Structures are given as structure tokens and as C-alpha cells.
Amino acid sequence: MAATLEGQNVYAEAVATGLWREIPVFRMLLGTCPTLAVTAAVKPALTMGLCVIFVLVCSNIMVSLMRKGLRPHVRILLFTLTIATFVTIADLFLRAYQPAMSEALGPYVPLIIVNCVIIWRAEARASNSGVMLSIVDGLAMGLGFTIALCTLAVIREILGTGRLFDIQVLPTAFPAWAAMGMPVGAFLTFGFVLGFINLMKRKRA
């Protein structure tokens, strides 16, 4: 009984870490490149988030399975190759079933290979934990990443086009800020959201 309780605590801990305490984009500033690149609208952001969840969970499983055989000097290389394989799978899947989305995301899907969030989890969690914990960790971290992407995307899409998922949310009299869909909007939104989170943190402290 005690063992299960302790086990549950470990899982709950992993979920809390991924979703809030160390939420990859906002707290750790990891994976900033896709965060800025694909958040002009919610749909690509969501697609990207799902791809990252898939790759993260799969690579966590693989790394966790081979953690006993890892040698320090080839560790990173093996991680990268594992990740690259799963990213190729995700990319081919997307190209087959969502060709328009694959076109829109372009090279940012293969760029998941060098997304620091995935290698960070492989190093910090999967290479020293069991398979189940690694899966939970991958899901939590991936979900945290997706939430962060969608937060930015919602702000940018609403201000940039006045709509969300093709539904008009702002009054049509509101002039759409075209800049929000451009690189400028990405940097500014991310900067201000980070500032807002810092403000909240200081208020609570």
C-alpha cells in the first residue's frame, strides 16, 4: 500500500512539474524557436503541440528502455538519433494525412529534433526512470508545452485577425492588427506574456 501511494506521488509530482512548476516554455525558456514560429494561429500551434507530445512520449519510452546500456560519450548522439527517427515518423504522418498543415509548418516539424525540451526530458527524466514514469513525464511536459503554445496562439490570432478558429470573436469594427501575425507580434507577445507571468509571481511572493 505504501509503495503504491509513494508511486502515485511520483506520478503526481511529474504531472505538476510538467504542467506548472517547470512548464517548458514559460518557466524554463526552452523550445522558444517553435513557440515563436508556429503561434500565429491556434491550429498550427495545436498541431505542433501534438507532434511534440508524440515525439516526446516515444523518445522517453525508448530512452528509458535503453537507459541501462547508455554510455556517457555516445549518450547525446543516441538521444538525437532516437528523436530524429520519431520526428521523421511524425513528419511523414502529417504529410500523408494533413498535407496543408504540413505545408504550413514547413521545416518547423523536422526542427523538433533540436527542440531542447525533448533532449532535456531524455536527459533529466527518461535516462534514470522507469518506462511508466517516463511516459507520464512525457505526456505532462508535452501538454505543458502545448498549453504554452496555445496561450500565445490564442492571443495572437484574436488580436491579429479578430477571429478564433474562423469564428468572429471581436467586433468587426475592431481593426485587426496585422503585425500580430508577423514575426514582430511573435516576439512582442512572448515578451509581454513572460513579463505578465513574472508580475503574477512577484505579487504572490
Partner 1 sequence: MELLYTLLLGFVSVVLINNLVFTKFLGICPYIGVSGRIDMAFGMGLAVTFVMTLSGALTWMIDHWLLMPLNLEVARYVAFIMVIAAAVQLVEMYLKRFFPPLYESFGIFLPLITTNCAILGLCLFLVVWGTGTLIEAIVLSFGGGIGFTIAICIMAGIRENMRMVDVPESLQGAPITLITAGLLALAFMGFAGMI
- Contact residues toward partner 1 (CB under 8 A) are 29-30, 32-34, 36-37, 76-77, 80-81, 84-85, 87-88, 91-92, 106-107, 110-111, 113-116, 119, 179, 182-188, 190-192, 194-196, 198-199, 202
Residue pair 26/194 in contact (Cβ under 8 Å)? The answer is yes
Q: Nearest approach, Cβ of 26 to partner 1 (angstroms)?
A: 10
The secondary element (H helix, E strand) that includes residue 203 is helix 183-204
The neighbouring-strand residues paired with 147 are none
Residue pair 48/105 in contact (Cβ under 8 Å)? The answer is yes
Specify the residue, 32 or 98, whose C-beta has the smaller distance to partner 1. Answer: 32
Q: Nearest approach, Cβ of 35 to partner 1 (angstroms)?
A: 8
Measured CA to CA, the distance from residue 18 to residue 143 in angstroms comes to 8
Measured CA to CA, the distance from residue 82 to residue 44 in angstroms comes to 24
SS3 37: helix
- Record the cell numbers describing residue 42, joined without a space: 491556434
Specify the residue, 29 or 65, whose C-beta has the smaller distance to partner 1. Answer: 29
Give Cα separations from 62 to 94, 127, 181, 190 (angstroms).
22, 9, 37, 33
Give Cα separations from 16 to 9, 91, 143, 156 (angstroms).
10, 29, 11, 27
The neighbouring-strand residues paired with 163 are 168
Q: Nearest approach, Cβ of 12 to partner 1 (angstroms)?
A: 29
Q: Nearest approach, Cβ of 52 to partner 1 (angstroms)?
A: 14
Q: Nearest approach, Cβ of 75 to partner 1 (angstroms)?
A: 12
Specify the residue, 12 or 178, whose C-beta has the smaller distance to partner 1. Answer: 178
Q: Nearest approach, Cβ of 64 to partner 1 (angstroms)?
A: 21
Specify the residue, 77 or 173, whose C-beta has the smaller distance to partner 1. Answer: 77
Specify the residue, 26 or 136, whose C-beta has the smaller distance to partner 1. Answer: 26
Specify the residue, 12 or 184, whose C-beta has the smaller distance to partner 1. Answer: 184
